Amino acid sequence: MPGEILDNQGRGEASWQWPAIHPEGRKFALIVAVFCVIAALLGWQWLAWPLAVLTVCVAAFFRDPVRVTPRSDRFVICPADGLVSLIRKVSPPRELTIDDGSGMAALSDEPVTRVSVFMSVFDVHINRAPIGGTVRRVVYIPGRFVNADLDKASEENERQHVMIERGDGMVVCFTQIAGLVARRIVPFIKPGDMLAAGQRVGLIRFGSRVDIYLPPGTEPSVVLGQKVIAGETVIAEIGQMPHIEGIGQ
């Protein structure tokens, strides 16, 4: 299925696949597995069994499943798995609105809609591009590690801003934010890279959050409390401002 075109008319073939483990996580799983084997050889079953469970948990955390990304110039694709925890009207981060000397236009400081997706330790932590285009900025900022579910995490926590520009000049930005347990943001991209919508762009280790800043005149097509999937959920349609209500049940 990877690389295959599928559509809503039944074209293509789809089947369940066991998720791969991202290379970034294989070393961690291997380290725990080695200690597990050593404990078993020494007869320390009280330690070997918990380490075996931990090995499986680490491997599961770094799972990297195949995702099918809807293709349309209208769509903004969700960059993260998790829960829509906040929807706010805010000014974009200063790092995305100032002139960085690159000659590329910065964002306006006018308020836009920010959608925050909270990723628990049970979610897939591979982040994906919300649109196809060129990476214009990647700005890393050291910070604190307060609960990523809090609104102030957008300004206080360790974070990394990413700006992507389409060929028609439309820009979408998102921010990877470390949380209480997360201690490292791992980028897979750099300025100048060309991306496809839904392409892997990085990961955050062990629980975190991603903020996405929608273009002006665009409102989310997801609701607060909704579970979203990176690379698959259409988080908004460009130029659309629907009012959508959801019911928890």
- Which residues are part of the catalytic machinery? 208
Nearest CA-CA partner of 220 in 73, 84, 67: 84
- With residues binned 3-state (H G I as helix, E B as strand, rest as coil), the percentages for the chain, rounded to 5, are 20, 30, 50
Helix, strand, or coil here: 45?
Answer: helix
Angle 59-61-62 from CA coordinates, rounded to 5°: 70
Return d(Cα 245, Cα 114) in angstroms, integer: 18
What residue spans of 15-106 are helical by DSSP H? Answer: 23-41, 45-61, 94-97
